[in-house]
């Protein structure tokens, strides 16, 4: 693969600080465990939806511990797993070795990818690129590194699904978004993603689907699991840690959300909604 690339615009000090904050957030807790225990099955779904083939060049943006990259490599593709938070790669490398998959792990900012134009036959991201703060920059980059006629495949939590509603529940307790940043669940809105990609893609197919969550039995178990393992939730709790009333209020709000959504009712598992969108670059 060529090392030449389009040079992204120089980042400001504020942008660099924001990216360091994001990296620290995702390094906190244990996202690799959460991904493995709750949503690992989403990776193979995205690989199947984009029809990854042996020998193709595939980029997984915001790959985390590899729930897309590893299945793509097992399909025989030449895969690069990229993420702003390389702390997640150690678990990814172990999982890849256990699965018998060979791939490259590369630290990379989704808004300034260190890859040449048109480098990949398929560019994928599973609940990953949606968390890049500047949506248009991230969309421009993923289109840029996709080959002409190549495929783009995205899985993103929807605004009205459970995870989207969780972010709405946490919003009153969270720090305001920096200027120019947009809420992550907007990537789960088909209209928003179509606008981001614009006329640079054809054959857009978007479907709302769900993933079954059966590893958490009660609303309290959900809350405690996310407090311990999920970076964005940990960041919110850290922000209000010195205010016991706020902590209790958020505790209660998350339990109420899960109960409202039927979490653990009559032993039924939760269904978390996401948008699966595929497109082909012109």
| Higher-pLDDT residue of 45, 214 | 45
- Per-residue confidence (pLDDT) for residue 262, from 0 to 100: 74
Domain presence at residue 162: yes
Average pLDDT over residues 147-173: 98
Q: Record the tokens describing residue 194, joined without a space.
A: 């179509």
Would you say residue 121 lies in a domain?
yes
Residue 163 within a domain: yes
Q: Do the beta carbons of residue 82 and residue 101 sit within 8 Å?
A: no
User: 24-40 in b/e burial notation, b at 16+ Cβ within 10 A?
Assistant: ebbebbbbbebbbebbb
Task: Look at residue 261 in the predicted model and tell me its pLDDT.
Answer: 80
Residue 76 C-alpha from the chain's centroid: 23
Whole-number pLDDT of residue 12: 73
> What is the pLDDT, as a whole number, of residue 11?
62
The enclosing domain of 71 has a CATH number of: 3.40.50.150
pLDDT at 204 over 50: yes
**What mean pLDDT do residues 271-275 have?**
96
Task: Report the interhelical angle of 231-239 vs 219-229 (nearest 10°).
Answer: 90
Average pLDDT for residues 137-166, to the nearest whole number?
Answer: 98
Query: What integer pLDDT is reported at residue 14 of this predicted model?
Result: 78
Q: What is the pLDDT of residues 46-92, one digit of tens each?
A: 999 999 999 999 999 999 999 999 999 999 999 999 999 999 999 99
User: Are 52 and 44 spatial neighbours (Cβ–Cβ below 8 Å)?
Assistant: no
Q: What is the predicted pLDDT for the residue at 267?
A: 63
Give the pLDDT confidence score for residue 9 in this predicted structure.
46
225: in domain: no
d(CA 36, CA 43): 10
Tell whether the model's pLDDT for residue 252 goes beyond 50: yes
What is the percentage of the chain residues whose pLDDT exceeds 70? Answer: 95
pTM score of the predicted model: 0.93
**Residue 162 belongs to what domain range?**
13-215+269-281
User: Does residue 233 sit within a domain?
Assistant: no
Is residue 263 one of the residues assigned to a domain? no
End-to-end C-alpha distance for the chain, whole angstroms: 21
Q: What are the tens digits of pLDDT across the range 172-191?
A: 999 999 999 999 999 999 99
Answer yes or no: is 19 within a domain: yes
**How many C-beta neighbours within 10 Å does residue 173 have?**
17
Going across the sheet that includes 120-126, the strands are 104-107, 78-83, 57-60, 120-126, 146-157, 270-281, 201-213
Give the per-residue pLDDT at 2: 38
Residue 4 lies in a domain: no
pLDDT in tens, 6-21: 544 456 777 888 899 9
CB contact at 8 A, 250 and 174:
no
As for how many domains the chain has, the answer is 1
């Amino acid at each position: 693969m060529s090392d030449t690339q389009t040079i992204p615009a120089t980042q400001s000090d504020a942008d660099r600080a924001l990216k360091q904050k994001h990296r620290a957030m995702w390094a906190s807790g244990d996202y690799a465990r959460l991904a493995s225990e709750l949503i690992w099955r989403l990776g193979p779904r995205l690989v199947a939806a984009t029809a990854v083939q042996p020998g193709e060049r595939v980029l997984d943006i915001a790959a985390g511990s590899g729930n897309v990259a590893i299945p793509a490599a097992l399909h025989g593709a030449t895969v690069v797993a990229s993420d702003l938070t390389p702390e997640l790669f150690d678990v990814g490398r172990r999982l890849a070795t256990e699965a018998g998959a060979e791939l490259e792990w590369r630290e990379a900012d989704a808004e300034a990818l260190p890859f040449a134009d048109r480098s990949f036959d398929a560019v994928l991201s599973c609940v990953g690129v949606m968390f890049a703060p500047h949506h248009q920059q991230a969309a421009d980059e993923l289109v840029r590194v996709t080959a002409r006629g190549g495929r783009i495949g995205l899985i993103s939590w929807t605004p009205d699904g459970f995870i989207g509603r969780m972010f709405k529940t946490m919003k009153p307790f969270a720090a305001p978004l920096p200027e120019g940043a947009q809420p992550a669940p907007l990537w789960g809105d088909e209209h928003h993603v179509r606008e981001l990609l614009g006329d640079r893609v054809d054959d857009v197919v978007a479907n709302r689907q769900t993933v079954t969550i059966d590893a958490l039995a009660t609303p309290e178990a959900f809350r405690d699991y996310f407090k311990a393992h999920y970076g964005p939730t940990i960041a919110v709790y850290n922000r209000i840690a010195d205010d016991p009333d706020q902590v209790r209020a958020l505790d209660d709000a998350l339990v109420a959300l899960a109960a409202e959504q039927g979490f653990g009712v009559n032993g039924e598992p939760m269904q978390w909604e996401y948008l699966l969108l595929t497109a082909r670059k012109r």
